[in-house]
Every structure is written in structure tokens, then in C-alpha cells.
């Protein structure tokens, strides 16, 4: 569990599923992430992310302290073996639309990165997103990540004509004090 001023980040529990599934089913949330998911596909996504726990990685439910609302999903995982970031520690996040532009994603991910530096002896952490995902790219920069020139790639999970296929990579280097 990770605690911040306004949030608790913890492994998902069954009671979180409706809120998490609703995010994956929201076309606005998924517009730059991939196709919306039904409950079965959402359950499969949760299971995939849970598969990193044996390494001490994994994604966490983002819970707002003031009302225990599950407002998002974030964490660290291994980069997909079919992409240039294979094996690297990769950060990711998503928040329900009602909680956008309130600083929750930044607060959660600053804490996740600090947690990651404390637990893993890695030289850097990466994040990827579709080239067109301006909001996530801006968030990566607010986190101190830098765009890696020449490391764009086409994601295998998207069709050749899908506008989400072109992926950009950002990286943050381990702070000297971490």
C-alpha cells in the first residue's frame, strides 16, 4: 500500500471491479488507450496486471481518502516482450473521467515512482503512449520524464490503420538520492 495526502494506492480487491470496469468501458477514458472493454475483457486486464506481483510490481487501485471512491488504476509493470521496452520497468495510469484535471494522477504517479526507486535497482523507468495522446505526454513531462527521440514504434496490438498504433516512449532516470 502507498499513501499520499489525498490517496491510498493498493492492490485491487473485488469491490473495486465495478469502478475499474467502468473506466475501461468509458470511450472518453479509452480514446487514446485502446478499445473499450466489456466486463470479461476488463477482468482479463486486471489478471494480466496482477501477473507482475510475483516480481513486486503491479498496478494498484487509486482510492480517494475523503470518500473511499476508486478513481483510477496505476502502477509499474514489465515492458511488453514484443516492444522495444521489453523487460524494462514501465509506469502507467488511468483515471475515471470525473477525476481528471484535479492533480490525482500526478500525485499517484509521483508516489509510485518514489516507491519504485526504493524497491527496484533500475537505472530508469519508462512510460509509453500513443503518439497522439497529448494529455499523457504532458503528464509524463510533469513527472520529469523525457521523450526518447528515435524510440517510437508501432504497437503490435493495434491494426496498421489504427491511429493509436504509433507509440512514443518517455523515460525518467533514477534520481541521485534514490
Distance CA 143, CA 14 (A): 30
- Orientation angle between helical segments 39-50 and 17-25, nearest 10 degrees: 110
The three cell numbers locating residue 177:
538520492
26-84 pLDDT, tens digit each:
999 999 988 899 999 898 888 888 878 888 898 999 999 999 999 999 999 998 888 88
Establish if 22 belongs to a structural domain.
Answer: yes
Question: What is the rounded CA–CA span in Å between residue 175 and residue 178?
Answer: 5
Look at residue 169 and tell me whether its pLDDT is greater than 80.
yes
pLDDT at 178: 65
Average pLDDT of the residues in 79-107: 93
Whole-prediction pTM: 0.92
pLDDT of 172 above 80: yes
Residue 35: CATH number of its domain:
3.40.630.30
DSSP 142: H
Predicted local distance difference test score (pLDDT) of residue 49: 80
Dihedral pair phi/psi, residue 42, rounded to 5°: -65, -40
Residue 141 domain flag:
yes
The total number of structural domains that make up the chain: 1
pLDDT at res. 44: 87
Q: Is residue 104 part of a domain?
A: yes
For residue 178, tell me if it sits in a domain. no
Name the residue range of residue 67's domain: 2-173
Express each pLDDT in 5-33 by its tens digit. Answer: 999 999 999 999 999 999 999 999 999 98
Map grid coordinates 507482475 to a residue: 52
User: What does the pLDDT look like over 136-151, one tens digit per residue?
Assistant: 999 999 999 999 998 8
Amino acid at each position: 500500500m502507498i499513501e499520499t495526502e489525498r490517496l491510498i494506492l493498493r492492490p485491487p480487491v473485488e469491490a473495486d471491479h465495478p469502478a475499474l470496469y467502468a473506466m475501461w468501458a468509458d470511450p472518453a477514458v479509452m480514446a487514446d488507450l485502446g478499445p473499450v472493454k466489456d466486463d470479461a475483457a476488463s477482468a482479463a486486464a486486471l489478471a494480466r496486471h496482477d501477473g507482475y506481483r510475483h516480481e513486486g510490481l503491479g498496478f494498484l487501485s487509486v482510492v480517494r481518502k475523503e470518500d473511499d471512491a476508486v478513481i483510477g488504476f496505476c502502477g509499474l509493470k514489465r515492458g511488453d516482450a514484443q516492444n522495444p521496452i521489453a523487460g524494462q520497468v514501465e509506469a502507467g495510469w488511468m483515471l475515471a473521467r470525473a477525476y481528471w484535471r484535479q492533480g490525482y494522477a500526478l500525485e499517484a504517479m509521483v508516489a509510485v515512482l518514489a516507491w519504485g526507486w526504493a524497491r527496484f535497482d533500475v537505472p530508469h523507468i519508462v512510460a509509453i503512449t500513443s503518439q497522439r495522446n497529448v494529455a499523457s505526454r504532458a503528464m509524463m513531462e510533469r513527472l520529469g520524464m523525457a521523450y526518447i527521440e528515435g524510440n517510437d514504434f508501432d504497437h503490435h496490438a493495434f491494426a496498421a490503420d489504427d491511429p493509436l498504433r504509433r507509440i512514443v516512449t518517455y523515460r525518467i532516470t533514477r534520481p541521485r538520492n534514490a
